[in-house]
């Protein structure tokens, strides 16, 4: 289950795919992009009282913010005794090229969960919710 904030780990820099899937589902009036449209820093969605923020991060140098987040998630999952295929999950974490931090201003309802699922559809991505790893359908691995 996703929470009000979580991190999407993607094996390729899929800025355009994420942006396009958001635009495909929402009116342009509800969407604002910060940074370059093709390598955006932030996409913010505001509709009624709902706000969802997608914040991108890529590795720029050794031990930058991206590297520290990846290392933290890797170590957390590595130390956690789960039923997941740990080697597979750790490999996915280690091979991440793009992090998307997602913040939602309210507890996600089913409509929001379905929206996030549709953004991640067919994408080689995993989600870290602060406790465990979810697949791109937001189901525990």
Rounded to whole angstroms, the Cα distance separating 141 from 131 reads 12
Rg of the chain, C-alpha, whole Å: 15
Rounded to whole angstroms, the Cα distance separating 112 from 84 reads 26
pLDDT value at position 3? 81
Split the chain (141 residues) into runs of 10 and give each run's mean pLDDT: 89 94 92 94 94 97 96 93 80 96 94 94 93 92 84
Assess contact for 120 and 2: CB atoms under 8 A: no
Ramachandran area for residue 63 (φ above 0: left; ψ -120 to 50: alpha; else beta): left
- At 50-89, the pLDDT tens digits run 999 999 999 999 999 999 999 999 999 999 866 668 899 9
Query: For residue 34, how many other CB atoms are within 10 A of its CB?
Result: 12
Q: Which of 2, 1, 5, 17 is nearest to 101 (CA)?
A: 5
Q: Which of 118, 127, 113, 106 is nearest to 7 (CA)?
A: 127
pTM comes to 0.93
Rounded to whole angstroms, the Cα distance separating 132 from 93 reads 12
Rounded to whole angstroms, the Cα distance separating 38 from 21 reads 13
pLDDT value at position 81? 65
């Amino acid at each position: 289950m996703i929470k009000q904030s979580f991190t999407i780990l993607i094996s390729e820099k899929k800025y355009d795919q994420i942006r396009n899937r958001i635009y495909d589902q929402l009116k342009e009036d509800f969407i604002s992009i910060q940074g370059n449209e093709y390598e955006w820093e932030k996409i913010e969605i505001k509709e009624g009282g709902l706000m969802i923020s997608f914040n991108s991060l890529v590795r720029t140098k050794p031990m930058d913010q991206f590297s520290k987040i990846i290392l933290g998630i890797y170590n957390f999952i590595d130390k956690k005794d789960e039923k997941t295929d740990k080697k597979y999950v750790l490999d996915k974490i280690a091979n991440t090229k793009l992090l998307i931090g997602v913040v939602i201003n309210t507890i996600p309802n089913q409509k929001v969960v379905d929206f996030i699922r549709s953004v991640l559809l067919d994408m080689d991505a995993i989600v870290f919710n602060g406790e465990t790893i979810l697949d791109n359908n937001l189901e525990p691995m």
